[in-house]
Structure 1
């Protein structure tokens, strides 16, 4: 391999975790996109690919404008995942007295490849890297931290942990969570199972939500009309013990039965779909059942209906009968909600509206399910 096919920089090497090599070095801003690919999030028929959100043009332009404004201080480090193909040669020579031996210095050699086959991937700093590549001054020295790993799961873990404290789209984090196998902070781990159930509901043909759920990896599928954030929030509520409809299938964070949870969700929401066929599958502007308020309110109702059905000899029949009794009182696509005084399209996705609608449906179900005297 010739010198033109490699980029050689001075670097300091250390190790973290279970013997993972980590490097600190500087690059010219324009070299970042020469050595590193951007792994954008998308989904094929089987798997979730990548992890990076789309380019935010306004954000990139704002950074470019800043970089082009004159001599600027830009010390923000870019985080890269490096292929094991990189090589490191330790510098020889005497060590200064009293040296804090945290890392060793040397030269890092990174192969230069065409896009899609590069030896590094941007984990944090996508927008900054794109801006640096477009700035007038291509020689701005940029600090880089690189860790050696080909494992996409490790890249995703670091991406989530780095961006958890930033204003990153929660939908992107939620979709990535099921693909990550490491121990996560408690607040993130709580979303992993609901997000995976959301994935299953969206991908399985037997699900009433098949291809209806909007996920961060979507590329504009017009069929996707249900907010994944709303459905995940509803499932999280269903998982709460002791009265969550799915809590009986979750003994602990390590012990759960996601297959049983999925079947329970399919049973309930299929009954919802069949009870309200004129409201199902429409856009939220046409049907408040598909709106975040409707999804969360009907999700709250699921706890009461399913727990009652579980004690029945025919759970599915009990669920469908409960929804049949409720149907005449629901105004998902027209009319005014009796007892709430809201026109069907006045329902909004605010906490107040969702809470009132949920309570209204729960009270109606409780009243209608009492035996006639």
Structure 2
């Protein structure tokens, strides 16, 4: 009589956890080494099966995003408190810790040990609902022991997984303007996708808050509801980023290099010199709402930023502001910021919109005027 061969028991991993319940479902909170997550949690990517049925729910890996997170994690001691959200199989077992509860305990949770199975067949007992890019990055980071917070709800129903995935990801991300305003206040090392935005954001802050700036009090910020603010901060930020990023930009010579950091003081000086000249040359158009002045409109700010690059890159004088005034004066009679029609482009002053085509058209016109009244005049 043959005996049935006994199957080996599944291995488990154990974590200290806190359990609570929501909507009749067990919910756990615990910490685990980031590199261990994918050993017991699966990324269930969305796909179609042979019968065209829908499988999984996760988007594809975003390699650039993962690489950016890895670079951030590999910079040394980092704070990375973003919780990974898992759906967990009911095969996980929780044992409540014995002992008296602390005085004043609210009774909302119980501490204990959560044992998560590692099936011998290679299947997983949990599925990542939110945080797949972070999980992939943690697996590839140098610090394999970095503990990360995990929130896990018990369910092996794919419909529930998809529902929670949609609910977690439908929330609106932070507005870009808010992030840009907060960046100058962040002293720690930033991820690769945020670090380049910090210096332009600092310059926007300085232009808005410093008394010697022509933009003092004129820039709209989410944290400041001044009635006299008329310029969109995103437009000023774009103007600065364009100048830093272009090889021919007026601010580009002062950006960080392998041998030294960025010279933000020099950048600020260039910005103040040029835009003070703009204010002086176009006094009737300065400081008015964009509905009354296209100079204060986002299209005007960005287009004039390209003109700043042309003019200030030629400046060799100590008095940069006067140099900019001398360059702007000849073109001023041809500009139509508050009324009239731009002759060479055939557009009414208030038809100019903050759209790529209009910004390019206005930028090209300003460049032509500058060329005719500087290089063209010298050639004559």
For 1:289, the equivalent position in structure 2 comes to: 295
- Structure 1 counterpart SS, 2:30: strand
CA contact (8 A) 1:202 1:210 kept: yes
Within a 5 Å distance, the mapping from 1:211-360 to structure 2 comes to 211-218=217-224, 220-252=225-257, 255-309=261-315, 311-312=316-317, 314-360=319-365
For 2:143, the equivalent position in structure 1 comes to: none
Aligned residues, how many?
Answer: 246
- Partner Cα distance (1:13, 1:21) in 2: 15
- Partner Cα distance (1:364, 1:350) in 2: 21
For 2:190, the equivalent position in structure 1 comes to: 184
Q: Does 1:209 align with 2:215?
A: yes
- Structure 2 counterpart SS, 1:14: strand
CA contact (8 A) 2:273 2:320 kept: no
CA contact (8 A) 1:331 1:337 kept: yes
State the 1:215 CA deviation. Answer: 1.1
- Structure 2 counterpart SS, 1:201: helix
CA contact (8 A) 1:9 1:25 kept: no
CA contact (8 A) 2:277 2:322 kept: no
- Partner Cα distance (1:342, 1:355) in 2: 13
For 1:362, the equivalent position in structure 2 comes to: 367
- Partner Cα distance (2:30, 2:257) in 1: 40
- Deviations, residues 91-139 of structure 1 (Å, cap 9, x unaligned): 568x869789xxxxxxxxxxxxxxxxxxxxxxxxxxxxxxxxxxxxxxx
CA contact (8 A) 1:285 1:345 kept: yes
- Partner Cα distance (1:169, 1:97) in 2: 38
CA contact (8 A) 1:238 1:245 kept: yes
> Which structure has the bigger radius of gyration?
2
Q: Does 1:198 align with 2:215?
A: no
State the 1:178 CA deviation. Answer: 1.7
Unaligned runs of 5+ in 1: 1-7, 27-85, 101-142, 146-161
- Partner Cα distance (2:79, 2:201) in 1: 29
- Deviations, residues 224-277 of structure 1 (Å, cap 9, x unaligned): 110111110000111024211011111338611111111111011000001000
Distance verdict in 2 for CA 1:314–1:24, change over 3 Å: closer
Distance verdict in 2 for CA 1:317–1:14, change over 3 Å: same
| TM-score normalised by L of structure 1 | 0.58
- Partner Cα distance (1:229, 1:303) in 2: 19
For 1:13, the equivalent position in structure 2 comes to: 30
- Partner Cα distance (1:206, 1:199) in 2: 13
For 1:5, the equivalent position in structure 2 comes to: none
Q: CA RMSD in A?
A: 3.7
- Partner Cα distance (2:186, 2:271) in 1: 23
Unaligned runs of 5+ in 2: 1-17, 21-27, 34-72, 86-104, 120-148, 152-167
State the 1:217 CA deviation. Answer: 1.4
- Partner Cα distance (2:78, 2:319) in 1: 56
- Partner Cα distance (1:178, 1:357) in 2: 31
CA contact (8 A) 2:303 2:359 kept: yes
